[in-house]
Amino acid sequence: MRYFEFGILGFGTGAVIAAIALGLVVAYRASGVINFGHGAIAAYCAYSYNSLRTDGEIPIPPLPNPVAPIEGLFNVEIFNLPTFISVGDSVATIPALVIALLIAAVLGLIAHYAVFRLLRYAPVLAKVVASVGIMILLQGAIVIRYGSRAKQADRILPDDTVDWFGATLPIDRYLLLGLVILLTVGLWALFRYTAFGVATRAAAENERFATLLGVNADSQAVVSWVLASVLAGLVGVLASPIIGLTPNQLTLFIIPALGAALLGRMSSFVVAAAAGVGIGVIQSVLFLLEQNASWVPDLNIPQALPFIVIALAMILRGETLPSRGAITAGRLPEAYVPKLTRARVSAYSVLIAVSVLIVMFAPFRFRSGMNNTMVGVMLGLSLVVVTGYVGQISLMQMAVAGLGAYAVASFGTDAGLPFVVALVLAVLAATAIGAIVSLPALRTRGASLAVITLASGLAIQEFLFKHEGWFGSADTRNTDAPSLFGFEMGPNSSFPIGDGKIPSPGFGLLLIVITVLCAISVMRLRRSRLGQQMLAVRANERAAAAAGISVAGVKMSAFAISSALAGMAGAFTAFKLGQFTADSFGIFVSLSVLAFAYLGGISTVGGAVMAGTLFAEGIGIVVTEEWFNLNVQEYTAYVAGFFLILTAVYNNEGIDGFQRTQFYNLVRKIRGDRSPTPAATAEEVTA
């Protein structure tokens, strides 16, 4: 009977999962986009509603203050941008709900007009990246405005209990379930019977023909985005008292929702909603089982459930995921062949020399900033391989890095193996996990790797890192300093040259050597046969298969190599901190790693270097904070999300690609070169 009660209690989370899943399906059917930011939209609305109810304030997303660097340099305050619009002390329930849903609608409109409409013909990669940007941006905005602690949520649904089916349970669970059923039936009828629905289905089938027949695919997408956002917002507001109001929780409901939507092949409302409610119910029952039944191992199984659902959905239905007959014209970011010209070799040498000087003689913050940058470069390189070269997205890089960190703590410190052996074992462990996780997604195309890695990133975080007893009960494990030939090179070890302050130059130099080796390996990879095959797979999976390339094999090797690099980065994070802590390897850190890697330039080694300077507490951030006196750290996630969207929409080659073209044009101008650009030479050849 208790199980029945817990099952009913699961309707609360189930309804939220179902509603977000419905929104995902609506948006996918109308525009072919899997919106990873859909949970974040629900969270943003729930926060807005509560802010209106308690303080009568509408949050304004943080805007850049253009004079901030000047303020910082001269230590004056010129002006501050408003953070909230006040509409009285506290707003009544109905108006507050209406305003919150209006905000949801506006978010939907912005998502469509400012992002996905511009990416209509772009490759899947750009769309997924942009939607991850939305997720980080909104989550970051919530944290900036409301902090990351849980808040008391205002209740709309009655707080009563009812005595149905022999159990006394809160009525809101039944009401939420009813609402989801109503929404599902409504959407099903809308898409089945109305002209709007028929037109949307036609456009999804073949956008070109539908457009020729007078269907305006664009206006349908507008309606669908608004509809999807309002749905998410409504359920977010109603259910937040039950599931709790924290910036992460609703945002991360995207993961089970993705599982539910995938089970419905991103097209069936009924299956998606049923699966969503089902996940909520099963999770709730599993919680109780784990507590009560002795035969159920205490493994945090409920946390891993969404991952299992997604993996199953991919294996069972992945191949049949409907793809849109859309017209794609967008280009993928160019993966330049690294050419070692004399200019470039000298530029890299200068870069390395400056790094060496910084880690040896610069003040504390700059030194540690340089160390962070080196780790960031390795993480960036790991994404260059999997995303830049193969066009697949990994949202679990930090989870893999965490495994590397954990392994190095276990093998090196606990088991007492020498540094090099422990490092190699850690990298191998990360490689293996990365390859295994990618397995379910290998046969599917498009955004599937992004989905499965997001889910497994969370599963590793919740299931392994936070598990009592396995990965250390206190979430932390100590890591001894790395030592080579009896020479200790940890961040706190002594070093013969320099001022003897921490972090030790020895550690910094070791990091530089390892990072340079990683960078050279990735450059070599680009030139190798395997690297060519990776780019062939990225360009066209079907043609690659026909040319005798094992597409699954190439994807898996990319994933393994990428995981090895991430594992390496994780191991050095552990050395840097002197311990393994689960918090350094959370899911949102993974997302911002992708953001910075993409912003730096996802398909070149230079881009990874750029990403490293921007990454959390990297040298670029340190310089901005120290010289311009700006507090950037707090805004990192938010800004990362913003620039991620911007990069995906306007310049998918990132900063590195941008500087390459600028540099190229500049050189041409200086030389007075009038020969056509490479792109323009096609005509010449034809003639």
Partner 1 sequence: MSTATLQTKGLTVRFGGLLAVNDVDLDCRPGELTGLIGPNGAGKTTLIDAVTGFLPKNASGSVNFDGEEALGTAPSRLAHRGLCRTWQTLELFDDIDVRSNLEVASSRLTPMKALRDYFRGSDVDERIATTLELLNLSHVADRSPSELSQGQRKLVGVGRALVADAKLLLLDEPAAGLDRQETVWLGLQLRRIVEAGTPILMVDHDMGLVLSVSDRIHVLQFGKLIASGTPEEIRNNEQVIAAYLGASGGDE
Q: Which residues bind partner 1 (CB under 8 A)?
A: 332, 334-335, 524-525, 527-530, 532-533, 535-536, 538-540, 542-551, 557, 678-679, 681-682, 685-686
Q: Which is nearer to partner 1, 70 or 547 (CB)?
A: 547
Q: Which is nearer to partner 1, 63 or 679 (CB)?
A: 679
Shortest Cβ 444–partner 1 spacing (Å)? 15
Q: Which is nearer to partner 1, 239 or 535 (CB)?
A: 535
Distance of CA 344 to the CA centre of its chain: 32
Shortest Cβ 679–partner 1 spacing (Å)? 7
Shortest Cβ 332–partner 1 spacing (Å)? 7
**Under 8 Å between Cβ of 53 and 90:** yes
Shortest Cβ 641–partner 1 spacing (Å)? 27
Phi, psi of 84 (to 5 degrees): -140, 150
503 cis-preceded (ω within 30 degrees of 0): yes
Angle at alpha carbon of residue 499, lines to 498 and 503, rounded to 5°: 90
Q: Which amino acid is at 590?
A: S
Q: Which residue has the tokens 């469509």?
A: 112
Q: Where are the strands (E) in 128-251, listed by range?
A: 161-164, 167-170
Shortest Cβ 71–partner 1 spacing (Å)? 45
Q: Which is nearer to partner 1, 65 or 651 (CB)?
A: 651
* DSSP summary character for residue 155: P
Q: Which is nearer to partner 1, 142 or 551 (CB)?
A: 551
The Cα 254–Cα 260 span in angstroms is 10
Shortest Cβ 197–partner 1 spacing (Å)? 22
Tell me which residue of 344, 345, 372, 347 sits closest to 358, measured CA to CA. Answer: 372
Q: Which is nearer to partner 1, 483 or 521 (CB)?
A: 521
Shortest Cβ 31–partner 1 spacing (Å)? 24
Q: Which is nearer to partner 1, 1 or 680 (CB)?
A: 680
**Under 8 Å between Cβ of 254 and 18:** no
3-class secondary structure, 166: coil
Q: Which is nearer to partner 1, 192 or 524 (CB)?
A: 524
3-class secondary structure, 553: helix
**Under 8 Å between Cβ of 280 and 15:** yes
**Close Cβ partners of 474 (under 8 Å, ≥ 6 residues apart):** none
Q: Which is nearer to partner 1, 208 or 501 (CB)?
A: 208
Q: Name the region of 60 (left: φ>0; alpha: ψ -120 to 50; beta: rest).
A: beta
**Under 8 Å between Cβ of 654 and 605:** no
Distance of CA 149 to the CA centre of its chain: 21
Shortest Cβ 84–partner 1 spacing (Å)? 47
Shortest Cβ 256–partner 1 spacing (Å)? 30
The Cα 25–Cα 576 span in angstroms is 43
